[in-house]
Amino acid sequence: MNKINAARQPKLAYLATHPIQYQAPMLRYIVDNSNIDLTALFMSDFSLKTYHDKQFGATFKWDVPLVEGYKHIVLPSLGDNSSIQNPRPFNYGFKEIFQQEGFDALWTHGHSHQNSVRAIKAAHGLGIKTMTRAESQHEVSHGAGLHRRMRDAAMLKVFAMLDAFLCVGTANREYYKSWGIDESKMFTVPYAVDNASFQERTAAAVDQADELAKEWGIDRNRPVILYCSKLTERKKIMNLARAYDQLSVDGKEPHAQLLIVGDGEQRPELEAWIAERHWDSVKFVGFQNQTVLPAVFRLSDIFVLASAREPWGLIVNEVMNAGMPVIVSDEVGSRFDLVEEGRNGYIVPVESIETLSDRLRTLSSDDDLRRSMGQRSLEIINNWGYREDLIGLVSALNALGFNAECTGMHSLAS
């Protein structure tokens, strides 16, 4: 069994399904600004290659570094590891890797994948401290009857083996409370993006935004409503389309423009809707990679994510870094922490097309309101970033008996 040595830096294993564009800069930030000896363990490395995303409906390769600046290990697996749909892939050797690397603590991204459960069990058996961070909340729970009871019983067993719960936000914290998790085991490690990078790149994207506006035929003198996500039924892109319809007077195209960025299963229905209107004000540009997004945000004025059962919605974090007002549904998890009703945006009932249209009309017709709400978005998001993640992680590790420290105090100062 591992023995915690509080006199030395904690050796932390971070288990995730694959290298993720949102998480890579966070891991680098932890390494650069703390004494935590972190190694990422990935179930699969498919995201490092060109691959087809079924929900995006596109084949692409991420154009940002995913494994630079921190140590990582791709776990051995049986058979094909190109899918991370539970129960695949099937990784093995957790106990041996934990012992070989001498880890003091395990942090899992999620706690329902069979690999995550087996890793938690192996670490618990070795006396390694265990922590988890997930998007879980009641509004996205599924299952009923016997299936639900069996799943809940299994989850209770997993939770009993966890020493700390790293809460991404208010809804996530309430979820753990409902399971009877003690407050002393919960630490705030917010769901965040690389705020500094998004703000810097958005500010620098003037020329790129101008080029995109010309390429896509966007009138810079008219407000732009942005949708930027997968085109799936759960994301409710057609509800946004219908709400935009209601901005029309006498069948004429609305003054506000609608920019749709993304791809997925609802693309045919969306394209048919666009073709029926013959409006130049609707621009559908498909999937755009990470290096293009800052310019997309630069030329947009209002952001909408009206999804159903959305655990968080990290795109909301991203657009707030561009100083944009946001409209989200009442099933988007980030609404509790990032959206202040009437101050930096609006929260609308998930299926209320009329309310969504009304909020779009209000924002698209008032330049001053958009500017003031956008400024408030920046103020909120500046206190919801990697700095807060590291402070929460250090607090959790120290509560478990370690001597973790924030060493890059120039970037952590209040």
Q: Are residues 152 and 204 in the same domain?
A: no
Q: Is 98 a member of any domain?
A: yes
Q: What pLDDT score was predicted for residue 414?
A: 40
Q: Are residues 51 and 111 in the same domain?
A: yes
Q: Are residues 64 and 16 in the same domain?
A: yes
Q: Is 80 a member of any domain?
A: yes
Q: How many domains does the chain have?
A: 2
Q: Are residues 173 and 26 in the same domain?
A: yes
C-alpha dihedral sign at 352, 358, 364, 367: negative
Q: Is 2 a member of any domain?
A: no
Mean pLDDT by 10 residues, the chain (414 residues): 57 97 95 97 91 57 86 94 89 98 97 96 98 84 70 91 98 95 98 96 97 98 97 97 96 97 96 96 95 96 96 97 98 97 98 98 98 98 98 97 84 46
Q: Is 5 a member of any domain?
A: no
User: Does the pTM exceed 0.85?
Assistant: yes
Residue 281 to residues 270, 317, 367, Cα–Cα distance (Å): 14, 26, 18
Q: Are residues 114 and 219 in the same domain?
A: no
Q: Is 88 a member of any domain?
A: yes
Q: What pLDDT score was predicted for residue 252?
A: 95
Q: Are residues 306 and 175 in the same domain?
A: no
CATH label of the domain that carries residue 367: 3.40.50.2000
Q: Is 372 a member of any domain?
A: yes
Q: Are residues 210 and 318 in the same domain?
A: yes
Residue 408: domain span: 11-192+385-412
Q: Are residues 233 and 140 in the same domain?
A: no
Q: Are residues 148 and 199 in the same domain?
A: no
Q: Which two tokens stand for residue 370?
A: 């958009």
Q: Are residues 243 and 117 in the same domain?
A: no
The span from the CA of 131 to the CA of 16, in Å, is: 13
Give 182: exposed, middle or buried? Use CB within 10 Å, 0-12, 13-18, 19+.
exposed
Q: Are residues 115 and 184 in the same domain?
A: yes
Q: Which two tokens stand for residue 301?
A: 């004025």
Q: Is 6 a member of any domain?
A: no
With a CB cutoff of 8 Å and minimum separation 6, the contacts of 314 are 22, 191, 193, 334
Q: Are residues 275 and 392 in the same domain?
A: no
Q: Is 3 a member of any domain?
A: no
